Amino acid sequence: MFPLSSPPGATETVHAERVLVLAPHFDDEVLGCGGLICALAAGGADVQVLFLTDSAGGAESGSIDDPESYAGRRRTEAKRALETLSEVGDVHWAGCLDLPDGDLHSRQDELAEALAREIDRHGPDLLLVTSPLEISADHVAAFVALHRCLTSIRPGHPLEPKVRDLRILTFEVNHLQHPDLLVDVSEFQELLGRAMACHASQQERHDYWGAYVGRSKFRALTLPPEVQAVEAYRQLTLQDFTHWDAGGLIRRLGGRFEPDPVDDGPLVSVVVRTHNRPELLKEALASIGAAGYRRIEVIVVNDGGDLPELPAGYPHRLELVDLDTNRGRAAAANAGVEAASGEYVAFLDDDDLVSPEHYSVLVRAVTAAGVRVAYSDAAVGVYHLDGDRGWKLTERRLPYSRDFQAELLSVDNYIPFHTLLIERALFDEVGAFNTEYPIFEDWELLVRLAKKTPFHHVPRVTCEYRQFRGAGFHVLGDRPRERADFLSMKAKVIEAHRDFVDSGVVARVVDQLRAEAVAALEQGRQESEKRVDEEAAHHRTRGALQASEEHARQLQMLEQRSSQALEAAQAEQAAQRKQIDELRAFQEEQSQKLAQAYEEIQRLTSLVDEMQNSRAWKLHQKLQRLKP
């Protein structure tokens, strides 16, 4: 469902101004993201490191003589390690929550509230947290608590302005994740080694630093040889936390998530309507079967279709109500409620899904004093056919997330039906689904319920409302407003409850929706202007880059020309040297010949001198003089 890509083939530089690091234990800050901490601090960022546990030993505490002293030693080591990292920039101790080591999974609410306070205090634009694929339970719990902290943030939430553009990176400590971001940390290895040496208590137990070095070298295998050490991250945004339940997000990241089982509480009857969609029914039932809440019975209502095959070995009681003819949505829902024996009733059509936490979240809400109806949020998943590979999720939106307003509900339905958990006794009070409505039967019932009691909204995505484009699965189709009876049925619901919808209600609702539309347009305008500014900055950067590239090309051409001229000058110089060498050789040869000539002349002169001094020559000279 969530294809995982190969590791990137290049590193990136991460930019931030205010960074908050969530480290479950003392030493996770070095072993998980120490190199990035150094790079960010060196780049001018203010890095705050928040430790979550007392690091007193957790599961290993039985082998520790004095856990309290051990925790104190580790705290001192962590402060020294941060002092070492601060040699390159601003790296600070943000505090320690001192939650029990090894027990974060049972402190989720407390931890989530603490994280909200810290995020509000520091206002980070970048947050680092352990990957949910980690082996350590505390590491996974830190991620899940962050999800719980961020998942309920909607427009109007006090934290929303601070986290709207928050960037979140997950880091790995003791288990590899599926990264989409690699950071070159080669230049900080010596510093990190000294920082990890501060955690002597941990190095005495295991060679954690050796494991880090090995992992950082392994992560560099997809990169050029000059990159020697790499840290790997997965990038997320606030939308990933608000649009996905914890289990769905973790599955998307390549992991598995099983919520804590809940065996106590009221019995919940889940009514599942189906009609000749066996594959979708199988997926819907599987999503209920994965629920952490165990006090569930499932009523499958077959609305006149082929007899569905129910799964064997199902974890909940499973009952089939088989209607002999297709009676419509309202009648099928009524048949399911009649067969239900639970204290609360929920609904799930066969083309939708619930998360493993869905019923646990809603049961916690309805068991609060005075709550008879509770509902959560449903993300809309849009699916398209992907050839022979089946349906592919191509879009995920969150259009349904609004606190309860009875007046607005009387004019328009904003609550997907499978997000609700309803007290069974309310059905006896308000009556069954009205079978006169082929569509909007759920909305009409909700208006009647709203007349009896307010609904409790849990602003948290716990289920998915699926749209299969082009398949015709949904009762309203891909374009509901093109259905002939869309507006007439809507008008019929409003008309049926005219006592609830007077002119004052209409005026207030219209004014509210208009104000929201104006605010949405203004926000869209601001976001558009921001994108334009970012695009302009991108173009300026691109222009500067192009100018720089052009300058580099010109320099390269000049360098090539200079190189060619230098080569020509060197060639000419070599030719001149050759000529000089040839002239020197000729001169030396001529000098040798001249010397030989001088030697020959000297020899001949000597011979002449000897001849002239000989008696024969002298006799010859006398005879020459005696000639007439």
Domain boundaries, the chain: 18-252, 268-501
With bands split at pLDDT 50, 70 and 90, how would you rate the model's confidence at 592?
confident
Q: Which two tokens stand for residue 238?
A: 């606030």
Give the model confidence (pLDDT) of 594-603 as tens digits: 667 667 667 7
Tell me phi and psi for residue 312, to 5 degrees.
-80, 150
- What is the Cα–Cα distance from 570 to 588, expressed in whole angstroms? 26
Tell me phi and psi for residue 240, to 5 degrees.
-60, -35
CATH 1.10.240.10 given to domain 18-252: no
Nearest to 440 by CA among 300, 276, 333, 329: 329
With bands split at pLDDT 50, 70 and 90, how would you rate the model's confidence at 16?
very high
Q: What is the average pLDDT across 141-145?
A: 97
**Residue 190 DSSP label:** H
Pick the CATH number of 268-501 from 3.40.640.10, 3.40.50.2300, 3.30.200.20, 3.90.550.10: 3.90.550.10
- What is the Cα–Cα distance from 594 to 607, expressed in whole angstroms? 20
With bands split at pLDDT 50, 70 and 90, how would you rate the model's confidence at 1?
very low
Nearest to 201 by CA among 60, 36, 368, 322: 60
- What is the Cα–Cα distance from 318 to 296, expressed in whole angstroms? 9
Which has more pLDDT, 255 or 586? Answer: 255
Q: What is the dihedral of CA 260, 265, 267, 268, to 10 degrees?
A: -50
Q: What is the dihedral of CA 1, 127, 260, 63, to 10 degrees?
A: 120
Give the model confidence (pLDDT) of 495-534 as tens digits: 888 887 776 777 787 777 767 666 666 666 666 666 666 5
Q: What pLDDT sits at residue 519?
A: 65
Q: What is the average pLDDT across 603-619?
A: 73
Q: Is the pTM of this model over 0.85?
A: no
Element (H, E) at 581: helix 503-612
Q: What pLDDT sits at residue 289?
A: 96
Which has more pLDDT, 420 or 487? Answer: 420
- Decide if 419 contacts 404 (C-beta within 8 A): no
**204 Cβ contact list (under 8 Å, min separation 6):** none
**202 Cβ contact list (under 8 Å, min separation 6):** 27, 74, 77, 208
Nearest to 363 by CA among 319, 418, 425, 420: 420
Q: What is the mean pLDDT of the chain?
A: 88
Give the model confidence (pLDDT) of 294-316 as tens digits: 999 999 999 999 999 999 999 99
Q: What pLDDT sits at residue 209?
A: 97
Rounded CA Rg of the chain: 42
Element (H, E) at 366: helix 358-366
- DSSP letter for each residue of 485-549: THHHHHHHHHHHTTTT--HHHHHHHHHHHHHHHHHHHHHHHHHHHHHHHHHHHHHHHHHHHHHHH
Count of Cβ atoms closer than 10 Å to residue 234 Cβ: 21
Q: Note the helical H segments in 380-502.
A: 406-409, 424-430, 441-452, 486-496
Q: Is the pLDDT score of 174 beyond 90?
A: yes
Give the type of residue at 360: S
Q: What residue has token string 């949020």?
A: 377
Q: Give the range among 337-341, 450-454, 460-464, 560-564 with minimum mean pLDDT.
A: 560-564
Q: Which two tokens stand for residue 158?
A: 């006090």
- What is the Cα–Cα distance from 590 to 189, expressed in whole angstroms? 70
